[in-house]
Amino acid sequence: MKSEAMKGSRIRIKPINVIGLFLILVALGYIFFWRPRSGPEESKRVDLNQLLLTAVQAAERGGLEVVAVRQSSSLVQSSKGKTKEGLNDPLTEGDMRSHRVMSSVLRERFPDVNFISEEHDEATASSLQTLSGKHLAMTRTSEVQVRKELLNLTPSAVFVSDPADLTIWIDPLDATYEYSMNLTEYVTTMVCVAYHDKPLLGVIHRPFHQETYWGWVGTGVSTSVKQARDKAAVDPDTPKVIVSMSHKGAVEQVVHEAAPEAKVIDGAGAGYKVFKVLDNTAQAYVHTTAIKKWDICAGNAILDAVGGVMTTLTGKMLDYSSQKDPKNLDGLLAAATPSRHEEYLKKLSPKLVNH
């Protein structure tokens, strides 16, 4: 009897079960067929906050190598050749060890971003592994400070969707000639990030002073840059123009003719000279011979971030895109304010025609 009753029974599906099943099928269809998926473009987008933090880390860790080599007196110096002015263009172990560490730090975290360095050498895994613990320990305090400063400037992350729009420029050791002569006052390590052709992020680290300066155009600058600008509140009675001590060319004569009221002072390394413009030791930085873009990109970014200006001596903005020649042949003029830049550009331009 029981089996016959079961044979005659039918399963009834309630309307609410049909609706639930339909909704489940729709949800599965959305997940597998219609939902937008994070394609390669989204997965490769670049977090600019993290990129700036990494740039600071790279510059400071490269600086540790620069100091270590100088203190060991094992420079292992060679020559790249002669400069236009006839001076030796040296290459030291400090250049190469800094390059290896800086490029490794940046390329590991941002492999899809265009990358240009003054030096060309691949890091060996063994050399980096032996140094990584020391680097992390010695730069941790600085990294915490940068994170705090970035949090105040940009509470939420800022992204660039296509890494191909960015170019990282690094100078593992600026003022190598002076470094080889133990004139460490002028030495810097630098990282710059350009967006399309314009400088966006700039980091200048002074390894023998343990000072780091950075700027993010349109967003803000480090506390160290603010402090340097605070010192620059009062202009000196006699304006000063800073020029290169080892690449002078005709620049000293040009400045004397164009601005006889100004005192010409010299310094080494583009990073150092930009710093002297930032703190108002010099009111302008002038360079009349060829200069590489990895020497000037970081300083250009920081100047832009504080409202300053850096151009060629013809008044053109510099192009930092990866496709362009890394050498700038048109000279350089930098000032901390647009009005001062315009003043010196007007004074210098007529004189440059004759040189």
Query: What pLDDT, on a 0 to 100 scale, did the predictor assign at position 58?
Result: 96
Q: Which residues of 185-223 are buried (b: 16+ CB within 10 A; e: fewer)?
A: ebbbbbbbbbbeebbbbbbbbbbbeeebbbbbbebbbbe
Write phi, then psi, for 225 (nearest 5 degrees): -70, -40
Query: What pLDDT, on a 0 to 100 scale, did the predictor assign at position 48?
Result: 97
Query: What pLDDT, on a 0 to 100 scale, did the predictor assign at position 222?
Result: 97
Alpha carbon distance, N-terminus to C-terminus of the chain: 117
Whole-number Å distance between alpha carbons of 284 and 144: 33
Whole-number Å distance between alpha carbons of 215 and 193: 11
Annotated ligand binding at 47? The verdict is no
Query: What pLDDT, on a 0 to 100 scale, did the predictor assign at position 253?
Result: 87
Whole-number Å distance between alpha carbons of 254 and 265: 13
Provide block-wise average pLDDT over 10 residues at a time, the chain (355 residues). 48 59 64 50 86 96 95 76 59 94 96 90 49 56 87 91 97 96 97 98 97 97 95 80 82 89 95 96 94 97 98 96 92 96 92 61
* Domains contained in the chain, CATH given: 44-226 (3.30.540.10), 229-352 (3.40.190.80)
DSSP 164-201: GGEEEEEEEEE-HHHHHTT-GGG-EEEEEEEETTEEEE
Query: What pLDDT, on a 0 to 100 scale, did the predictor assign at position 75?
Result: 86
Annotated ligand binding at 171? The verdict is yes
Beta carbons of 148 and 49 less than 8 angstroms apart: no
Write phi, then psi, for 93 (nearest 5 degrees): -65, -30
Annotated ligand binding at 143? The verdict is no
Annotated ligand binding at 118? The verdict is yes
**Nearest alpha carbon to residue 217 among 300, 142, 106, 334:** 300
Annotated ligand binding at 51? The verdict is no
